[in-house]
Amino acid sequence: MSKRDNHVLLFLLTVACGGGGGVKDLRPDASDQELFWGADQYDFAIVLPAAGLDCFWHFAHQGERFYLNFMVQWVTGMANDRHLSVIVNAPSGLIMSSVDDATGEIVFNARETGFYQMCFSNLHNRFGSMQIFLNFGVYYEDSKDLKKEEELKKEEEREHLNSTISTMEESFNRLQVSMFHMWRYYNIERMRRGTDYFLLQSNSSYVSTWSAVQSFVIIMAGYLQLYFLKRLFVTKPTTEQEKPRC
């Protein structure tokens, strides 16, 4: 069976499952988990059994951008083919896009308002299951309410950015002033240390000089005292003619 025949078979199965109608033609047994109304991103993983088919619906307005990304994570059993058949149908049943690969991306602008059907088929593997990871959603680019919300968000972001910038500027100025005072205190302390060093050096020179002078004076005084004391005990040799007198 060719890929074209597989797509035709998948399309017939999709129509048989109820994907060919609009919003009112959704299958009545669809659970709330299979219907996605919001614009937020959805991402989760599902397991498709052998030759299994699973469909999901996501609501989109006309003119909005619809996207779907998928990837086959693993295959089990006797499966030897990682290809996954994916078809996205419009609410009216028109096929918007189809992919038959292990990974793929589908992006288009919604032409109708309603639930868009995403069907995933494991028809290539008759005896093995596979796990696939899905990521899909809708971009509300042309919505006026969204534009207003985006403008409000942008305004809030601008205010927050301005507040952040002003806070950063104030913090920077405060930091700059603090650094200036620290540098000033550092220079004052460095000058004090220089002053103490030169004062210590001057005191050392003063003490050394006066110590040397005082040592010289003390030595000279002792020498003079000894000299005068010795002069007091100077005697002449005595003879019979020259005798010492009292």
pLDDT at position 238 is 65
Q: What domain range is 192 assigned to? A: 143-207
Residues 93 and 71 in one domain: yes
Listed in sequence order, the residues at least 6 apart from 219 whose beta carbon sits closer than 8 Å to its beta carbon are none
Sign of CA dihedral 38, 43, 44, 49: positive
Report the pLDDT value the prediction gives residue 77, as an integer from 0 to 100.
75
Cβ-Cβ contacts under 8 Å for 150 (sequence gap 6 or more): none
Residues 131 and 176 in one domain: no
Res 13: pLDDT: 44
Say whether both 82 and 185 belong to one domain.
no
Tens digits of per-residue pLDDT, 139-169? 765 545 555 666 667 777 777 777 777 778 8
Is residue 228 a part of any domain in this protein?
no
Give the DSSP letter of residue 17: T
CB 12 within 8 A of CB 88: no
Residue 100 lies in a domain: yes
Q: Which residue has the tokens 């005798």?
A: 243
Measured between alpha carbons, how far is residue 97 from residues 38, 109, 110, 209, 229 in Å? Answer: 21, 11, 12, 104, 132
- Give the Cα separation of 117 and 19 in Å (integer): 6
Task: Find the distance separating the first CA and the last CA of the chain, reported in whole Å.
Answer: 161
Total number of domains in the chain: 2
Predicted TM-score (pTM) of the model is: 0.47
Q: What is the phi/psi pair of residue 136, to 5°?
A: -145, 165
Query: Which pLDDT score, from 0 to 100, does residue 100 have?
Result: 94
46 in the same domain as 123: yes
Going by the DSSP 8-state scheme, the letter that residue 75 receives in this structure is E
Are 67 and 37 part of one and the same domain? Answer: yes
> Are residues 64 and 104 both part of a single domain?
yes
* Contact between residue 43 and residue 51 where contact means Cβ atoms under 8 Å apart: no
Name residues of the chain where pLDDT drops below 50.
1-4, 6-28, 31-33, 143
Distance (Å, whole) CA 230 – CA 246: 19
Q: Where are the beta strands (DSSP E) in the chain?
A: 35-36, 42-48, 53-60, 65-75, 84-89, 95-101, 103-109, 114-121, 130-139
